[in-house]
Structure 1
Amino acid sequence: MAAERLVVIGGGAAGMSAASPARRLKGPDELEIVAFERGHFTSYSACGIPYWVSGDVGARDDLIARTPEEHRERSIDLRMRTEVTGLDVSGRRVRALDRESGEAYWTGYDKLVIATGARPVRPELPGMDAAGVHGVQTLDDGQALLDSLDALGTEGARRAVVVGAGYIGVEMAEAMLKRGFEVTVLNRGEQPMATLDPDMGRLVHEAMDGLGITTVNGAAVTEILTGADGRVTGVATDAVRYPADVVVLGIGVEPETGLAREAGLPLGPQGGLLTDQAMRVVGHEDIWAGGDCVEVLDLVSGRPRHIPLGTHANKHGQVIGSNVGGGYGTFPGVVGTAVSKVCDLEIARTGLREKDAAAVGLRFVTATIESTQRAGYYPGAKPMTVKMIAELRTGRLLGVQIVGREGSAKRVDVAAVALTARMTVEQMTALDLGYAPPFSPVWDPVLVAARKAVAAVRGAGS
């Protein structure tokens, strides 16, 4: 009996995390695995790219978990620099283009995994494709940016404009600052970090200004300015022109689902593929999808969300690989936990923002407290702000946001567990969290916020 063929589109975190467990469960005589990757690298940490650019991570290869050769040693037919350009669902085949040779061909499949990732948002503005304008989604992107910076040399003006102030934007602002650039961040929103409520985003803005990063809010880019040689010279908004020797795009990403859309596969409201808990594409028995190209269930709001994070992509891949290989796995959903930093400022969030809760019809109260990440008398104690959102009447925790210095961000994990368990803020006040002066005040800031949220719930009820 001939072996079944599994085709994987995408050699990143989700794709190869699916191929590897499938291979462990089934040998080559039972399951042939063919994987296509259009870039030069596989199984790498895209989240680490800003820290490679900044110099905190010494070498590109430090970000690579497994090379193409290592995958091939496990009997995975991994075809690099090969892009899937067509998907024929009824014919159960994909069309691939070898970017090196130009050869195009069809490959049939019995089972298919779509792990095409996400693409940086790149507005259609004059000059957007100019030399010196860079996205940072892949290792190839990171290498292109570093090559561009090297070409500038160390003499003369070194001005960087970062467009966008989300996770990638603030992380790249730090990277450019560490490389000695004068950094301006242009943000369309009211405050940086739109994943936070504006009152918490304001704290990020103030801290970035204190670090020497100029952040301009309400700044909609209208044009990338270029010189006679075609290289970027600045960025224009409606009101101001900002000089730039390099421009980094940190506007965000969107699901890379063009193939899926053309093939008629189901997409969610944010353009990501829709799957069941087994990560199987809805309505298609032998097609799975995972990583940044899918939407997943938000366990707090009950609605699908597109959250492009490496943590999710690796979990998706493990679930898919288990199911493809004859095992069993599920991915129940997320609560939307994410952490980031800009220099020594740590930023964290989980669950819903105020506008998210309002959008799904939830009534809520908020509580914001200021504390320190260590006992106030202990050396190195720094400010930390915690905002908590709780459902009116029930007191169910809906979301937490944290902005502070070293030791602040990972406290959000306590809230992530509480959200997953559907705990109330009153139940949270009884959590037995670790205490010692070097790590926390006697009342941990998360518990102080929970106590204040309890009072807010009770006050609203009365």
Structure 2
Amino acid sequence: MTERLVVIGGDAAGMSAASQARRLKGPEELEIVAFERGHFSSYSACGIPYWVGGDVSALDELIARSPGEHRERGIDLRMRTEVTAIDVPGQRVRTRDLEAGTEAWTGFDKLVIATGARPKRPALPGIDAPGVHGVQTLDDGKALLDSLDRTQGRRAVVVGAGYIGVEMAEALLGRGYEVTILHRGEQPMATLDPDMGRLVHRAMDGLGITTVASAEVTKVLTGEDGRVRAVATEDAEYPADVVVLGMGVVPETSLARAAGLPLGARGGLLTDLAMRVRGQGNIWAGGDCVEVLDLVSGRERYVPLGTHANKHGQVIGANVGGDYATFPGVVGTAVSKVCDLEIARTGLREKDAREVGLRYVTVTIESTSRAGYYPGAAPMTVKMLAERRTGRLLGVQIVGREGAAKRVDIAAVALTAGMTVEAMTALDLGYAPPFSPVWDPVLVAARKATAAVRAAG
């Protein structure tokens, strides 16, 4: 008997799951129907800032597989079709064709929820005015580019200084805009400790980006034509011809909530190691709509990244297709850049360690990306956290120029393996003057952290 798999969401997690399930089971065993409300499937949302900034020349370069290619592989992908309800007891979903306006019910034997995330958009006066943009999907990116083409002025305000905010600031700066970033925190990049965020702030100032800290946006002001003209905080007004919301995202789980499925503290779906929704035998979830286990803190965490989404999809597809796979968790690795400044973190910040009751030591070192005498050696700052009693590595943050960000992968592997900072000092890393000093900056930090752990008793 042929079973039917229904997938909600046509991007990374959803279509990875559908594709993997199709590899394991043919159409005679498993019918696959996927619904996507947007115009695009299987694309790189992470590439949108670089498309907006002109580093990526065309939209098509961000699309890994088109709807037609999915259909050729035996997946009935229905675009511009929004799922409006999940009937768990009845094993069916209600859909609306966004072009025709018609609604229908589709039954399922197995269901994958991959509804992704939505940009934070606070309920402020003027927030929905023309010229104000969130950036999460290719449709969002296209809308922003269309808006930039119509905009006469060259003043941009970015609200929020996380990964999306700083990447969009770079994109707009590259397009010749005068860029101001407004953010609520003490320093930009709240995913870093404030002392490391200060380095990012200093670098952005040097690039000509105006960064305003502790700025609580109160409203968006509009002109006579209804289009955005400024962003207001409690203390000032900042002229704007375009506004980009870079305040992060929240899991898009309104369907799951309405269906009574279990959600975590951050609003993401909760799953087991096989990515099956807890308490459900035939429903899986993955991507930016789920919370996952943090391997360092031992708690559930919301980490919306394309790398995780693709892995979730592979795990889900294997289990749906009759194979077996698990997703054990994450250590919270992320990298970004603003112009030539590279930013990386993995594991816990000081704030995170305190929240879970860990006692720790911290060290910060200055080094270079290459041997100091080799041309092109660039400065790099590495901060490392280690558990006070055991010396277990807890987290690493890196800010520097070329060659800085990907060094965080050394720490990500060490965190996943549960290594101590002392054990890290013996890692056999590659060395040659064009690539690193004889002691890699991460190992220099590990040596200093080892000494701090010993000194702390």
Q: CA deviation at 1:57?
A: 0.4
Equivalent residue runs for 1:110-129 within 5 Å: 110-129=109-128
Mapped to 1, the partners of 2:438 and 2:210 lie a distance apart of 37
Correspondence 1:288 to 2:288: no
Residue 151 of structure 2 corresponds to 152
Query: Residue 398 of structure 1: CA displacement?
Result: 0.2
Report the alpha carbon displacement of residue 393 of structure 1 after superposing the two structures with TM: 1.2
Structure 1 unaligned spans of 5+ = none
Distance 2:154 2:406 in 1: 34
What TM-score, normalized by structure 1, do the two folds share? 0.99
Identify which of 187, 190, 203 aligns with 1:207: 203
1:408 shift after superposition: 0.3
Match of 1:406 in 2: 402
Task: Give the deviation of 1:382 after TM superposition.
Answer: 1.2
Query: Does residue 1:243 correspond to 2:239, yes or no?
Result: yes
Structure 2 Cα separation of the partners of residues 174 and 309 of structure 1: 20
Would you say 1:10 and 2:9 are equivalent positions? Answer: yes
Corresponding residue number in structure 2 for 1:391: 387
**Could you tell me which amino acid in structure 2 is paired with residue 161 of structure 1?**
V
Aligned residue identity for 1:158: R
Q: Percent of aligned pairs with the same residue?
A: 82
What amino acid sits opposite 1:385 in the alignment? T
Residue aligning to 2:218: 222
Q: Per-residue deviation at 1:293?
A: 0.1
**Structure 1 Cα separation of the partners of residues 191 and 351 of structure 2:** 10
* 1:370-403 superposed Cα distances (whole Å, 9 cap, x missing partner): 0111111111111100000000110000000000
C-alpha distance in structure 1 between counterparts of 2:64 and 2:125, whole Å: 38
> For residue 5 of structure 2, what is the amino acid of its counterpart?
L
2: distance between equivalents of 1:352 and 1:147?
39
Match of 2:260, SS state, is coil
The one-letter amino acid paired with 2:77 is L
Corresponding residue for 1:369? 365
Structure-1 separation of matches of 2:50 and 2:142: 13
In 2: Cα distance, 1:455 partner to 1:74 partner: 56
Say whether residues 1:193 and 2:192 are aligned partners. Answer: no
Question: Could you tell me which amino acid in structure 1 is paired with residue 64 of structure 2?
Answer: A
Structure 2 residue matching 1:208: 3-state secondary structure: helix
CA displacement, residues 114-166 of structure 1 (integer Å, 9 cap, x when unaligned): 0000000000000000000001100000000000000125xxx3000000000
Matched, 1:252 2:251: no
Q: Does structure 1 residue 355 correspond to structure 2 residue 351?
A: yes
Residue number in structure 2 paired with 1:138: 137
Q: Given the alignment of the two structures, is residue 262 of structure 1 paired with residue 252 of structure 2, yes or no?
A: no
TM-superposed deviation, 1:252? 0.3
Match of 1:175 in 2: 171
- The reply to whether residue 58 of structure 1 matches residue 54 of structure 2 is no
Q: Match of 1:39, as an amino acid?
A: G
Classify the secondary structure of the residue corresponding to 1:271.
coil
Residue 75 of structure 1 and its aligned partner are, at CA, apart by 1.1
Tell me how far apart the structure 1 counterparts of residues 230 and 370 of structure 2 sit (CA, whole Å). 43
Matching residue's letter, 1:217: A
Deviations 1:299-351 (A, max 9, x none): 00000001000000000000000000001110000000000000000000000
AA aligned opposite 1:148: S
Deviations 1:232-278 (A, max 9, x none): 00100000100000000000000000000011000001000000000
SS of the aligned residue for 1:273 comes to coil
Aligned to 1:441: 437
Letter in 1 for 2:9: G
Unmatched 5+ stretches in structure 2: none
Match of 1:451 among 447, 451, 454: 447
Give me the whole-angstrom Cα distance separating, in 1, the residues matched to 2:293 and 2:302: 9
Please tell me whether residue 231 in structure 1 is matched to residue 227 in structure 2. Answer: yes
Partners of 2:362 and 2:166 lie apart in 1 by 26
For 1:261 and 1:326, how far apart are their aligned partners in 2? 28
Opposite residue 238 of structure 2, the aligned amino acid is Y
Partner in structure 1 of residue 298 of structure 2: 302
Distance across 1 between alignment mates of 2:24 and 2:65: 19
Aligned partner of 2:341 in structure 1 is 345
SS of structure 2 residue aligned to 1:274: coil
Take 2:57 and 2:366, find their aligned partners in 1: how far apart are those partners? 36
* 1:300 alignment partner AA: V
| RMSD of aligned alpha carbons | 0.5
Question: Residues of 1 paired with 2:94 and 2:393: CA distance?
Answer: 47
1:188 partner letter: R
Q: Tell me, what secondary structure is at the counterpart of 2:57?
A: coil
**Runs of 4+ deviating beyond 2 Å:** none
Q: Which residue of 2 aligns with 1:97?
A: 96
What does 1:46-85 correspond to in 2, within 5 Å?
A: 46-85=45-84
Name the counterpart of 2:86: 87
1:328 pairs with 308, 324, 327, which one?
324
